[in-house]
Amino acid sequence: MRKIALLIAFFTLSTIIYAQNKTKEELLRELQAHPQQDKERVDILTELFHARELEDNEKTKFAGEALALARKINYPVGEAQALLYHVRDADAASNYRASDSLLLLAEYIVKKVTDKNLSAFFLYYKGGHLSRRTNKGCVDYFLQAARAFELLGDNKNIGFCYYYISEYYLNHVANYPLAMEYILKALHYAGLAKSPYLLCKVRTHIGGIYSSIGDYDNALENYQKASEANEKLQNKDMERSIQIRIGDIYLMKDEYPEAINAYKLFIKNDPSKLDSCTFESNMANVYIRMENLPMTFKYGFSSFKKATELKDPLELSSVLGLLARAYNKKEMPDSAIFYARAGLDTALKKGMLQYVRNNAGALADAYATKKDFANAYIYHLQYINARDSILNNDLRNRTSLLKYNNDLDKKQNEIVKLEVQRKAQRNFLIIALVVLALILITAVTLFRNNRQKRKANTLLQQQKLKVETTLSELKSTQSQLIQSEKMASLGELTAGIAHEIQNPLNFVNNFSDVNKELLNEMKDEMDKGNIADAKEIANDVIANEEKINHHGKRADAIVKGMLQHSRKSEGKKELTDINALCDEYLRLAYHGLRAKDKSFNAKFETDFDSSLPKINVISQDIGRVILNLINNAFYAASLNPSEGGTLEPDNKKIPTAWVSTKKEGNKILVSVKDNGNGIPEKIKDKIFQPFFTTKPTGSGTGLGLSLSYDIVKAHGGEIKVNSKEGEGTEFIISLPVV
């Protein structure tokens, strides 16, 4: 009886798996060949609206027929399946009252009947229902559904459960490590199910995660794999979604011809009005980057018209920002202000940070062109705040993925331990089998032990396959995540400082324009013979020229400081005078801070050992370390007491930084000291960790001390910190003489 039960279970499971692997064409042929109004037709209809390869309107039609027929013939399982699909339709229309009612009705039927397949789908649709309403409870239902589908051997739907969990963590929680963890599980089951549709969805989702953290190469690779999987499906909607993402990646990589080709593929097959609007907006974005203003206006205004008709805030805010930028390039600031204001209002209402940044930047540029510097400054601040918020989000995402990478290392170590345990178990089993072979005396006992041996070997093979598969996936993921973290952090910081030169350049441009007008007036006065008035105008011109010269030198000093700070090291060690290097970077830091902030008020003192020998170091790298420590010292010493800094000068404690050098044995010591508020004892052990910073958001990346630590270690030296709360902090760099 037990063998018969096992055969029946195997036959049932095989039937379910076969049904799940049927193609859309096979199911449609079965439906056409079975016109009888019975349970079998309802089951075929159910398989059809569960087939994700079908268009939504087709699935809705089949679900409606299944519901009507199931109620007519009193088939509760079929009725519940159709009701579950209608829950999805109601959610899509944001008719949550209807979807809640339909879900309760389906749940009532599920509890009445005993059907494992129906129970699994109920958990799955309940998870989808909660996910569309951004309810975190959806994760628990999807996990329950995955376990239920696992008992049915349904790898495809297990994969979809993990896919939607990953989608929830990415889109609603922004938890990148969990999103990556679950999508990799979905990828595994997509391979087991051999489902091109699931594989296409998963690869597209992985590409989206990499795109979100700025790893465009890995994003592009996954989108292209998704497109390859779709070649078997020929799903036009899915291909459009993939191609627009590929176009966006090429746009970010400044590969404009490739971006245009991808966008044309996106619009190729039966586009909707929204698709056409998006296509034209993207094309306008490409052409403005290519400095092709006629084509920018052509596509931009066409997209603007369609976005207005569709009342789509995202597309509207995007294209308004593009038109504003185009008018700025055409030096038509009034038109730029008109469109950018409308785009900014829309972006602020919908909380679309990216388009707040773009439109605010366009407004700042337009008002600067009009010489309305008060408004230009207001919108420039709004642009900077939006930009910094986006950059901070990116930094948090990269940091969370770095942590996930570390977790992967731990899991890999656990896998190695499991492999060792597996080998020990295998050796133990072999020894046990040898011993049993010696002591067994009857054929029945030998048969039973051989059967146990076969079971043990099967289990070991399964464990081996599972461990090897997991190890391979972890190694692949680890290499991808390590690659994604190779970012030029110092270069990004220097690019941010470049905004500081805008102010002196604006002064140069403004005084140049004023001088032009004054010189014309002087010519008129000279023609009239008004020599005295002409001389007064000439004096004004001379005064303006002095201001132009002053601000030009100011911009020159800022740029030189930036270049010196951000230039790449050639990696060559050379004999270097440490005293001269310290003096150079001390003055660079001081004057750079003075140029950046006129309110900066601090003093510095030096105590250099004149007997120091020259030592072999990479001077640019050691200079970066010294510059970073001095900048930190000035920052700590200059903070107001309310911010945790030192007292003001009238309280007889002037913000001060001290730089000194001396030789001690076969080492040279460089000390950078401040009279700031010191470093709290509880965080002293963390200051050299990457991304750890006590500065306010936007004021630092937390990489300076970490990079300084690595540079000094690479030179065979060490860096130490002495600090006392309320008195100040001292960093000591120790470098070997030889």
The dihedral sign for the CA sequence 358, 362, 368, 372: negative
What percentage of residues in the chain have a pLDDT greater than 90? Answer: 20
The secondary structure element, H or E, covering residue 722 is strand 718-724
Least confident of 478-482, 530-534, 595-599, 635-639: 478-482
Ranges 199-203, 230-234, 453-457, 467-471, most confident = 199-203
Report how far residue 282's alpha carbon sits from residue 180's, in angstroms, rounded to the nearest whole number.
28
Rounded-to-integer distance, Cα 341 and Cα 350, Å = 14
SS3 content of the chain, % helix, strand, coil (to 5): 75, 5, 20
What b-and-e string marks burial along 496-532, b requiring 16 or more CB atoms within 10 Å of the CB? ebeebbebbeebbebbeebbeebeeebeebeeeeeee
Contact 235, 270 (CB under 8 A): no
Q: Are 328 and 367 in contact (CB under 8 A)?
A: no
392 pLDDT above the threshold of 80: no
Query: In the structure encoding, which two tokens stand for residue 657, read together?
Result: 């930084």
| The predicted structure's pLDDT at residue 493 | 41
Rounded (5°) CA angle 577-580-582: 105
The residue to which tokens 């709360």 are assigned: 725
Closest by CA to 596, choosing from 627, 565, 561, 641, is 561
**Is the pLDDT confidence value at 432 over 70?**
no
How far apart CA 688 and CA 705 sit, in angstroms, is 5
What is the rounded distance in angstroms from the CA atom of residue 635 to the CA atom of residue 695?
A: 9
- Predicted confidence (pLDDT) at residue 482 exceeds the cutoff of 50: no
* CA–CA dist 478, 472 (Å, integer): 10
Q: Using 50, 70 and 90 to split pLDDT, how confident is the model at 74?
A: very high
What are the two backbone dihedrals, phi and then psi, of residue 577, each rounded to the nearest 5 degrees?
-85, 105
Please check the confidence at residue 702 and state whether its pLDDT lies above 80. Answer: no
Closest residue by Cα to residue 66 from 50, 51, 81: 81
Residue 448 near residue 433, CB atoms below 8 Å: no
3-state secondary structure of 734: strand
- Most confident residue range from 184-193, 340-349, 412-421: 184-193
| Residue 460 burial (CB count, 10 A) | 15
Indicate if the pLDDT at residue 163 is higher than 90: yes
Tell me, what's the pLDDT at 2?
36
| pLDDT for residue 495 | 43
Q: What is the pLDDT of residues 331-389, one digit of tens each?
A: 999 998 999 898 889 888 877 777 888 888 889 898 989 998 888 889 899 888 888 77
pLDDT of residue 222: 94
pLDDT at position 423 over 70: no
Query: Using 50, 70 and 90 to split pLDDT, how confident is the model at 189?
Result: very high
State the alpha helices, DSSP H only, in 291-372: 293-310, 313-329, 333-350, 353-369
> Are 280 and 306 contacting, i.e. CB atoms less than 8 angstroms apart?
yes
pLDDT one-digit tens code per residue, 239-267: 888 888 888 888 888 888 998 888 888 88
pLDDT at 720 (0 to 100) = 92
Do residues 30 and 2 make contact, with C-beta atoms less than 8 angstroms apart? Answer: no
Which helix (H) or strand (E) segment is 270 a member of?
A: none
pLDDT at 243: 86
Instruction: Output the pLDDT for position 92.
Output: 80
Helix axis angle, 76-92 to 116-132, nearest 10°: 10
3-state secondary structure 647-708: CCHHHCCCCEEEEEEEEECCEEEEEEEECCCCCCHHHHHHCCCCCCCCCCCCCCCCCHHHHH
What's at 407, amino acid-wise?
D
Name the pLDDT band for 138 (thresholds 50, 70, 90).
Answer: very high
For range 566-572, the mean pLDDT: 59
Whether residue 494 is predicted with pLDDT greater than 50 in this model: the reply is no
- State the average pLDDT over residues 26-35: 86
All residues at 6 or more sequence positions from 537 whose CB lies less than 8 Å from its CB, including other chains? 518, 519, 521, 522, 525
How confident is residue 6, by pLDDT bands cut at 50, 70 and 90? very low
Residue 74 phi, psi dihedral angles, 5° rounding: 60, 60
Two tokens at 686?
Answer: 């963390």
Q: pLDDT class for 704, splitting at 50, 70, 90?
A: confident
Given its phi and psi angles, is residue 322 left (phi above 0), alpha (psi -120 to 50 degrees) or beta? alpha
Q: Could you tell me the two tokens for 431? A: 């020894």
Higher pLDDT, 257 or 52: 257
**Taking each helix axis from N to C terminus, what angle separates 24-33 and 39-50, rounded to the nearest 10 degrees?**
160
**Is the distance from CB of 266 to CB of 281 less than 8 angstroms?**
no
Q: Helix, strand or coil for residue 374?
A: helix
pLDDT value, residue 192: 93
Which tokens hold the place of 433?
Answer: 């089998």
What pLDDT does residue 399 have? 54
Q: What angle do CA 404, 408, 412 make, to 5 degrees?
A: 170
Q: How far is CA 268 from CA 221, 225, 257, in A?
A: 22, 20, 16
Identify the top-confidence range among 408-417, 562-571, 598-607, 658-667: 658-667
Q: Which of 575, 660, 598 is nearest to 626 (CA)?
A: 660
DSSP codes joined into one string, 432-444: HHHHHHHH--SHH
Q: Match 């900014």 to its residue by tokens.
A: 344
Give the separation between CA 122 and CA 129, rounded to whole angstroms.
10
Q: What is the DSSP letter of 173?
A: I
pTM: 0.49
CA–CA distances in Å: residue 45 to residues 19, 48, 79, 157, 235: 12, 5, 11, 18, 21
Q: Cα(289)–Cα(363) distance, rounded to whole angstroms?
A: 18
Q: Which residue has the tokens 């018969």?
A: 4
Q: What is the pLDDT of residue 416?
A: 59
Rounded distance between C-alpha atoms, residue 81 and residue 121, angstroms? 8
Q: Answer yes or no: are the C-beta atoms of 548 and 512 closer than 8 Å.
A: yes
Q: Which two tokens stand for residue 593?
A: 């801070």
Q: CA–CA separation, 417 vs 426, rounded Å?
A: 14
314 and 350 Cβ atoms separated by less than 8 Å: yes
pLDDT of residue 9: 34
pLDDT at residue 88 tops 60: yes
Report whether 677 contacts 726 (CB < 8 A).
yes
What token pair was written down for 77?
A: 């399982």
* Long-range Cβ contact pairs of 597-601 (< 8 A, separation 24 or more): 600/634, 600/638, 601/638, 601/649, 601/655
Provide the 10 A C-beta neighbour count for residue 623: 22
Average pLDDT of the chain is 80
Beta strands in 193-259 (DSSP E): none
Convert 398-414 to b/e letters by CB count within 10 Å (16 or more is b).
bebbbebbeebeeeeee
Tell me what pLDDT residue 480 has.
57
Lowest-pLDDT range of 37-41, 460-464, 560-564: 560-564
pLDDT tens figures, 200-234: 999 999 998 888 788 889 989 999 999 888 888 78
Contact 197, 232 (CB under 8 A): no
pLDDT band at 148 (very low <50, low <70, confident <90, very high): very high
* % of the chain surpassing 70 pLDDT: 81
Per-residue pLDDT tens for 647-692?
A: 444 445 788 999 999 999 899 999 999 998 888 888 888 888 776 7
Average pLDDT over residues 105-121: 90
Q: What is the mean pLDDT of residues 715-738?
A: 90
